[in-house]
Amino acid sequence: MKIKSALIVVNEAKEDAPAVATEITDYLVEHGIAVDTHSFLIEPAAFSPRAYDVAFSLGGDGTVLYCARLLANHGIPIFAVNVGDFGFITEVSKDEWTETFEKYRDGRLGISERIMIEVTVYRERETIAFLRGLNDAVIAAAGISKVVRLSVDIGETALGRYRADGVIVATPTGSTAYSAAAGGPILAPEMDVLILNPICPFTLSNRPLVLPRDKPIFISIEGKQNTDVVLTVDGQEVVALTEGDRLRLRVADKTARIVRSGRRNFYEVLRSKLNWSGGPDA
């Protein structure tokens, strides 16, 4: 595989990220690969990527989520290096990146295609927001311990009215994040489905659903809310919602392309991260 250009996205809030970025830059330049760097500390600055052959994500899973949204329109493979504390998506450690990258460059490692979620927010028949995410979209109260009132349709079928802390619509990649904490199922990350998961529903019969990609989800913000309601995508982008807003959520036409680690598969990561050892701490 011929790699001529690379982008390095550096989350400088991670202590080791700048040093790893320097190490990667030196390696790439030595091998004749042009390098651009996009660094941020708290909030990423505006950046318009061009058609790089690969993008390194240096941080944790949150940095990969940002990269997925940033690069989705370009189809750039993401080489995720974990310099954070906990990572389901970032399987490559900071000590493994050289060997792993060389395997990828030599064509010995493939790419994991991950679906993304697409959210359109309509207000009085006008589109006020359009967002994509790799993990999830959450419609919930802006305050603490507040119940929201939502109506949910699946395609052209009314599913029902929810009184809950909110609703999560998660991708398979996001199934190990907030949705799992809210009692949702864990899915293999390359599946082509979405999870609809109510958060602490008032009616205990409201259960998580796994839905096929050909069924868009429509969520309407009902009247008489006792709290402000917000949409959050990947925990990083926020849109304030008002009564009467209607959201369409579906599988996006773009994917996140993540370079496989070659060292461990999803089930091994799951077993390790969730401590499914079968021992006294499991």
Going residue by residue through the chain, which has 282 residues, state the pLDDT in tens, using 9 for 90 and above.
799 999 999 999 999 999 999 999 999 999 999 999 999 988 777 788 889 999 999 999 999 999 999 999 999 999 999 997 667 788 788 899 999 999 999 999 999 999 999 999 999 989 999 999 999 999 999 877 689 999 999 999 999 999 999 999 999 999 999 999 999 999 999 999 999 999 999 887 889 999 999 999 999 999 989 899 999 999 999 999 999 999 999 999 999 999 998 777 788 878 877 777 665 554
- Any catalytic annotation for residue 16? no
pLDDT in tens, 72-113: 999 999 999 999 766 778 878 889 999 999 999 999 999 999
Residue 45: which of 53, 37, 55, 57 has the closest Cα?
37
Domains for the chain: give ranges and CATH numbers: 5-110+260-273 (3.40.50.10330), 117-253 (2.60.200.30)
- Helix, strand or coil, per DSSP, at residue 123: strand
Q: H helices within 202-249, ranges in order? A: none
10 is written with which tokens? 């550096």
What number of other Cβ atoms are within 10 A of residue 40's Cβ? 16
Q: Residue-wise over 135-169: b if at least 16 C-beta within 10 A, else e? A: bbbbbbbeeeeebbbbebbbeeeebeebebbbbbb
Q: Which are the contacts of 249, defined by CB distance < 8 A and separation ≥ 6?
A: 117, 118, 119, 137, 169, 194, 216, 217, 218, 219
**Which residue pairs, CB below 8 angstroms and at least 24 apart, start in 265-274?**
266/188, 266/189, 269/88, 269/91, 270/88, 270/176, 270/186, 273/86, 273/87, 273/88, 273/176
Catalytic residue among 26, 36, 53, 61: 61
